[in-house]
Structure formats: structure tokens, C-alpha cells
């Protein structure tokens, strides 16, 4: 009991800040979703499910939802696969690997705004690196402003996500791989397992909890990420890169519809909660199966 | 035996291939922007990769540093990122220590609660946060930005540092208690020195996240008084006629602090970031 009284004050500052700046805003946001609150008006009233009804009939909402889900799925799956490949390559004991490992995560530490600027510059139709290279290869006819093409802008944004996060996956998976006892590999080798079988039956199960952590963190991060799309295209061209966070942001700060924006945010929260419930089910089943 | 050697060789070639492609993809964009920052506007617009020697210049940096307001934004960024780092470290160290070492009612619920706030859409939280900051008279003030940015870093820091502290044997605490140390003395003299690498990573993490934040600054900042470098490089590329040389110089200056700090922590970074994830193994 004495210990308890001593421990609580230590956590208090964190709890206070999180309470005031996340728990209260969350509850207030949920309340707001049922109002017609507007940044330009002082008065507001509760409007029931009106915002959600409007959402249901809003084409941009459905497009954003669809594009958000596509973005998260493609990006996280590719990050996972490429991260594994990178981790495998780095786990080979070869000269120069140390230097490579120490520089590769640089893309993760620089601001997203800087990343977007770099790639926006490289995507430029006349002076962009990609188009200069394409022209040099005699493929001048495919040169274009990559973020201005309705079909290619979203894939281009996905590529920026990969650029930022794949090295983090690689280095994290590598750390988990190195924690696997080498006796397991030796045993598998004695049993006649080839390299691929050892990877499937020893490496993958060995880094399972790291995979779970990385995938979860990045599903959340990618689904909630706002600045990649907003700074690269703002949702265009012709709404073809609109994702839910950008929709919320533009509704609240460009149209000032706080109530409507909050209702979209509520839908985002519900989607993430569904993801979590399914995820925990799968995780628990996996633990039991083992 | 021969098949074994062949397999090794094949792995080595394949690994180097992966490394070579990765280097091109992950490092090249940074080299390209650095290279561009030293070129004149005219030479950038030729659309050639290499230009005559006289087309390389320091003019872009001179303009960004002398003519534009960039230095003011840079100082804002430094001030905000350092404040967030200091404040979040104090809160997270105390909080993680409390959660790691004390029996507290509802502790597991608190841990889950703190971590699950990561799931809340920030674009939605920012609406009420704006109203709170407004009613605290902190709009467009550094403390307002700092307080709001705390939510970006605190949950992860607490989780990470708790993982670090959990790995430190309790015997150390007990020995110090017998020597008559108070709770805070135990934390400062026993735990912190052992956990120094983890704390460095936590500090690095919060500096980098604060430095790179765009969402919160774009709402809470209303003028040059609190605008940061991320805000200004985003604004530069949105204008109609982009001076790419200057944009490149500003971008390089924005990246440099994070890369310098990164070079100090790179060896601890991954162990630190994943401390919470690997401890249960």
C-alpha cells in the first residue's frame, strides 16, 4: 500500500498531459461528431446522426475510405516483404555491412515535409530526376509530373512511404533475427532443412512478435498519416489521392465544418478498433496454436 | 562441401545486389537534393545532370540564410524541439519508472490506456486541442506548440523506457534502498546511469518527431513567431514559380540537424526503439 502511494505521483504528469491532450480531445471529438459546430459560428446544436447520414451520401468520403484502405494494405504488405529481404541481406556477414547498417535508417529520421519536398522535386516534369533519367534512357514519352497523374499519384505516394519506413523494418527484423539462438538453425540443418525451409520454420517464427509490433505500429501510422498526402498532392489530382486524414483536415481547417470533420474522425477510430479486435483474435489464436 | 560454398557465394552476391539497390533507392534522393542545393537556378533548369563548373554556387545558402526568414524559423524549430525533448523526457522517465517499479492499482489498464492513445486519429484530436490551446491563450505561442506536441511522443517514450527499466535488475534498487536512498535518488543515481543508452534514444526520438511535425504546427502556429522549418519548406514548394535551388538549400538545412543527431545514436537506435517489443522473449 505504501509503495502504491509513492508510485502514483511519478505517473501523474504523464497521465495529466495525456488526459488533457488526448483523452479529453477524443471524447470532445466524439461529442462534436453529433453537432453542427463550425469554426466561423459561435452557436451550435446537436443534430443527431445527421453528419453520418451526410457522410454516407458523400462520394469523396467513400473514395477517401477506399484509397486509405488501399494505401495502408499495399504499403504495409510491401514494407513487410521488403523489410524481410533487407534484413536477410544485412544478416549476411560480409565486408561493408556495418557501414551500410549505420546509414540506411537515415530516411526514417528526416522530417516527412523534407521527404515530400525531395520527391516532389524529383517528380517535376522538366527538371525532375526521374524524368531526366527516363529521357536519358530514350523513354522521354513517359516523362511526366508524377504527382499530377491521376493514376500514378497514389502509387508515387506509396513509394514515399516505402522510402521512409522499409529501412526501419529491415533493421528491426535484423535485431530480432540476431536474438534467435543459433542452436535452432543447427538443429534444422541436421534435420536436412535447406535455406528456404530454415527461413520459414526457424526465422519467421523467431521474429514473430517483432513482426506483430512493426505491422501494428505501421498500420496505425500509415492510416493516420496526414502529411505525406497533404503536402504531396493535397488529395488531388481529381481527388485520386484523397485519404481520410486529409479529408478530416480539409473539412475542419479549410471548410471549417468541425462537426462533419469529427464524424469522419469517428469513423476512422471505429475502423482502427475493428482492426485491433481482429488482430488480437488472430494473435491469441497464434499463441494457442504454438 | 562444394554445394555449401556455392550456396554461400550465391547468398553473398544476392545480398550485395539487395544492398546496392537499397543504397540507390534510399540514399540517392538525399544526395540529389544536396547536389541541387549547390547549383544555380539556370543550371537546374537545363534538365542536365552535370553542368559546367561555374554553375556550382553557394548562392542558394546565402539567400536562404541572409535574405529569407529561414533562420528565424530554424530557431523556432530548435526552441520547440528542445523544449519538447526536455519536458517529455522528465515526464516519461518518471512515468516509466513508476510503471516499472511500483505496484499501482489499475497499472495494466494505465499501460494499455497510454498506448492505445496511439490509435486515436490525430487529425481528429487536433480540433479540440486547438480549442483548448485557444482557451489557454497559448495559440501561436511556443508553449502551446510544445504542449500539443507532447502527445506525439509521450506514449511511445513511456512504453520504450518502461521496457528498458524492466530489464534492469531489481537488486540494484534494493541495494540502494538499504543504503537509505529515496525514490528519486534511486532513480537518478541507480537507474538513469544504467539506462543511459535508452534515454538517449528516447531524447533523440522526441527531438526528431517534434522537429518533423507538420500537423500540429500548421494549426497552432499562426505567424512567423512560432512557424517552424517544416512549415516553411512546405510553403516554399507550394508557390507557383519554385526556386528549386533555394528550396533544396532550405531542405538540406532542415535535414542536417536530424542527421547529425542520428549519427550519435545510430548504434543504440534500434535496440532502443524496440526495447518494449523484445523484452518478453
- Angstrom distance (rounded) from CA B162 to CA A7: 14
Mean pLDDT of chain A: 91
Question: What DSSP element (H or E) covers A52?
Answer: helix A50-56
Phi, psi of B243 (to 5 degrees): -85, 90
- Confidence label for B2 from pLDDT (cuts 50, 70 and 90): low
Structural contact between residues B189 and B181, judged by C-beta atoms closer than 8 angstroms:
yes
Q: Please check whether residue B194 touches A, CB under 8 A.
A: no
pLDDT at position A194 is: 84
Query: Given CB atoms, is B139 within the 8 Å cutoff of chain A?
Result: no
pLDDT computed for residue A53 by the predictor: 96
Spatial CA neighbour of B184 closest among A3, A10, A8: A10
- What's the confidence (pLDDT) of residue B208? 96
* Closest in A26, A117, A195 to B237, CB measured: A117
Residue at grid coordinates 486547438 = B130
Q: A137 with A131: CB under 8 angstroms?
A: no
On average, the pLDDT of chain B sits at 89
CB contact under 8 A, B45 and A129: no
Contact B151 A18 (CB under 8 A): yes
Residue B209's contacts (CB-CB under 8 Å, 6 or more residues apart) are: B84, B149, B152, B153
Measured CA to CA, the distance from residue B56 to residue B37 in angstroms comes to 9
Ranges of chain A whose pLDDT falls below 50:
1
In contact, A218 and A212? CB cutoff 8 Å: no
Element housing A24 (H / E): helix A24-32
pLDDT reading at B239 higher than 80: no
Helix, strand or coil for residue B18? helix
pLDDT at A139: 87
Residues A157 and A71 sit within 8 Å (Cβ to Cβ)? yes
Domains of chain A (ranges; CATH) run: 57-289 (1.10.3720.10)
Q: At what angle do helices A258-289 and A208-224 cross, to 10 degrees?
A: 170
Using left for φ > 0, alpha for ψ between -120 and 50, and beta otherwise, residue A95 falls in beta
Nearest CA to B26 out of A117, A104, A65 is that of A104
Task: Supply A18's cell numbers.
Answer: 495525456
Q: What is the pLDDT of residue B205?
A: 95
**pLDDT of B179:** 82
A114 interface with B at CB cutoff 8 Å? yes
Q: Number of C-alpha atoms within 13 angstroms, CB side, residue B136?
A: 19
Secondary structure (3-state) at A279: helix
Q: Which chain A positions have a beta carbon within 8 Å of B155's beta carbon?
A: 18
3-class DSSP string for B107-137: HHHHHHHHHHHHHCCHHHHHHHHHHHHHHCC
Q: Within a 13 Å sphere around the CA of A275, how many CA atoms are in the beta-carbon half?
A: 20
What pLDDT score does B272 carry? 77
Cα–Cα dist B2/B19, whole Å: 26
Question: Directed axis angle between helix A112-122 and helix B244-273, to 10°?
Answer: 130
Q: Where do runs of H (alpha helix) occur along A96-137? A: 97-103, 106-109, 112-122, 129-136
Contacts of B28 (CB under 8 A, 6+ apart): none
Distance linking the first and last C-alpha atoms of chain B? 35
Q: How far is residue B175's CA from residue A217's CA, in Å, rounded to a whole number?
A: 38
Q: Are A157 and A231 in contact (CB under 8 A)?
A: no
On whether any CB of chain A is under 8 Å from the CB of B129, the answer is: yes
Bridge-partner residues for A35, per DSSP? A46
Q: What is the pLDDT of residue A253?
A: 94
> Does the CB of B94 have a partner CB in chain A at under 8 Å?
yes
> In sequence order, what are the residues at sequence separation of 6 or more whose Cβ sits closer than 8 angstroms to the Cβ of residue A152?
A144, A146
Residue in chain A closest to B253 (alpha carbons) equals: A114
| Per-residue pLDDT at B279 exceeds 70 | no
Instruction: Return phi, psi of residue A35, to 5°.
Output: -125, 170
Put simply, the answer to whether B110 touches A268 (Cβ < 8 Å) is no
How many C-beta neighbours within 10 Å does residue B218 have? 23
The DSSP symbol for B68 reads: S
Q: pTM of the full predicted structure?
A: 0.93
Give the pLDDT of residue A98: 85
* pLDDT tens digits, one per residue of A116-153: 999 999 999 888 899 888 988 888 888 889 999 999 99
Query: Is A89:B18 a contact under the CB 8 Å cutoff?
Result: yes
In tens, the pLDDT along B143-183 reads 999 999 999 999 999 988 998 898 888 888 888 888 888 88
Q: Is the pLDDT at B276 greater than 80, yes or no?
A: no
Each residue of B103-141: pLDDT tens digit?
888 888 888 888 888 889 999 999 999 999 999 999 999
Supply the ipTM of this predicted assembly. Answer: 0.92
CB contact under 8 A, B36 and A121: yes
Q: Phi-psi region for residue B141, left (φ > 0), alpha (ψ -120 to 50) or beta?
A: beta
Q: pLDDT at residue B281 above 50?
A: no
Distance CA B279, CA B274 (A): 9
Cell numbers given for B150: 507532447
Opening angle at CA B265, ends A104 and B88, nearest 5: 120
Tell which B residues from 13 to 32 touch A, by Cβ distance under 8 Å.
14-16, 18-19, 22-23, 25-27, 29-30, 32
- CA–CA separation, B80 vs B75, rounded Å? 9
- Assess whether pLDDT exceeds 70 at residue B280: no
pLDDT above 80 for B270: no
Helices and strands (H, E) in chain A, number of each type? 16, 0
How confident is the model over B190-227, as pLDDT tens digits? 889 988 988 999 999 999 999 999 999 999 999 989 99
Using an 8 Å CB-CB cutoff, list chain A residues near B30: 106-107, 110, 118
Q: How far is B137 from chain A (nearest CA, A)?
A: 15
Amino acid at each position: 500500500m505504501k509503495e502504491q502511494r509513492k508510485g502514483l505521483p511519478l505517473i501523474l504528469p504523464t497521465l495529466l498531459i495525456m488526459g488533457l491532450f488526448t483523452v479529453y480531445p477524443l471524447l470532445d471529438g466524439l461529442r462534436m461528431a453529433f453537432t453542427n459546430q463550425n469554426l466561423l459560428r459561435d452557436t451550435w446544436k446537436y443534430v443527431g446522426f445527421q453528419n453520418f447520414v451526410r457522410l454516407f451520401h458523400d462520394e469523396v468520403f467513400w473514395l477517401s475510405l477506399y484509397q486509405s484502405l488501399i494505401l495502408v494494405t499495399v504499403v504495409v504488405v510491401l514494407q513487410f516483404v521488403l523489410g524481410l529481404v533487407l534484413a536477410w541481406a544485412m544478416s549476411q556477414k560480409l565486408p561493408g555491412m556495418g557501414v551500410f547498417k549505420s546509414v540506411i535508417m537515415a530516411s526514417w529520421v528526416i522530417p516527412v515535409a523534407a521527404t515530400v519536398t525531395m520527391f516532389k522535386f524529383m517528380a517535376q516534369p522538366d527538371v525532375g530526376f526521374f524524368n531526366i533519367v527516363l529521357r536519358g534512357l530514350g523513354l522521354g514519352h513517359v516523362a511526366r509530373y508524377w504527382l499530377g497523374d491521376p493514376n500514378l499519384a497514389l502509387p508515387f505516394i506509396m513509394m514515399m512511404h516505402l522510402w521512409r519506413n522499409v529501412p526501419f523494418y529491415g533493421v528491426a527484423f535484423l535485431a530480432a533475427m540476431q536474438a534467435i539462438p543459433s542452436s535452432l538453425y543447427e538443429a534444422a540443418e541436421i534435420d536436412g532443412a535447406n535455406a528456404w525451409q530454415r527461413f520459414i520454420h526457424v526465422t519467421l517464427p523467431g521474429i514473430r512478435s517483432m513482426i506483430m509490433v512493426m505491422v501494428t505500429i505501421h498500420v496505425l501510422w500509415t492510416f493516420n498519416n496526414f502529411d505525406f498526402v497533404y503536402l504531396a498532392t493535397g488529395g488531388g489530382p481529381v481527388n485520386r489521392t484523397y485519404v481520410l486524414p486529409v479529408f478530416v483536415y480539409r473539412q475542419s481547417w479549410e471548410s471549417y465544418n468541425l462537426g462533419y470533420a469529427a464524424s469522419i474522425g469517428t469513423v476512422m477510430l471505429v475502423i482502427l478498433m475493428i482492426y485491433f479486435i481482429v488482430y488480437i483474435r488472430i494473435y491469441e489464436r497464434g499463441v494457442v496454436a504454438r | 562441401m562444394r554445394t555449401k560454398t556455392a550456396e554461400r557465394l550465391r547468398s553473398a552476391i544476392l545480398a550485395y545486389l539487395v544492398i546496392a539497390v537499397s543504397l540507390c533507392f534510399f540514399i540517392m534522393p538525399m544526395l540529389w537534393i544536396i547536389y541541387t542545393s549547390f547549383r544555380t537556378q539556370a543550371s537546374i533548369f537545363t534538365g542536365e545532370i552535370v553542368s559546367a563548373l561555374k554553375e556550382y554556387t553557394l548562392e542558394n545558402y546565402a539567400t536562404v540564410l541572409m535574405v529569407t526568414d529561414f533562420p528565424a524559423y530554424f530557431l523556432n524549430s530548435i526552441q520547440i524541439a528542445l523544449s519538447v525533448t526536455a519536458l517529455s523526457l522528465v515526464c516519461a522517465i518518471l512515468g516509466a519508472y513508476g510503471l516499472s517499479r511500483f505496484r499501482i492499482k489499475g497499472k495494466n489498464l494505465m499501460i494499455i490506456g497510454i498506448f492505445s492513445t496511439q490509435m486515436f486519429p490525430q487529425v481528429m484530436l487536433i480540433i479540440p486541442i486547438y480549442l483548448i490551446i485557444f482557451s489557454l491563450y497559448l495559440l501561436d505561442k511556443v508553449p502551446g506548440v510544445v504542449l500539443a506536441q507532447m502527445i506525439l511522443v509521450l506514449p511511445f517514450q513511456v512504453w520504450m523506457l518502461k521496457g528498458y527499466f524492466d530489464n534492469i535488475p531489481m537488486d540494484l534498487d534494493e541495494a540502494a534502498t538499504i543504503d537509505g536512498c529515496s525514490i528519486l535518488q534511486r532513480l537518478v543515481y541507480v537507474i538513469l546511469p544504467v539506462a543511459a543508452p535508452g534515454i538517449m534514444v528516447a531524447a533523440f526520438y522526441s527531438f526528431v518527431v517534434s522537429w518533423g511535425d507538420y500537423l500540429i504546427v500548421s494549426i497552432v502556429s499562426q505567424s512567423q513567431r512560432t512557424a517552424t522549418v517544416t512549415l516553411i519548406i512546405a510553403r516554399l514548394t507550394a508557390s507557383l514559380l519554385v526556386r528549386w535551388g533555394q528550396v533544396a538549400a532550405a531542405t538540406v538545412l532542415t535535414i542536417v540537424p536530424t542527421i547529425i543527431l542520428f549519427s550519435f545514436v545510430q548504434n543504440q537506435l534500434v535496440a532502443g526503439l524496440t526495447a518494449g517489443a523484445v523484452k518478453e522473449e
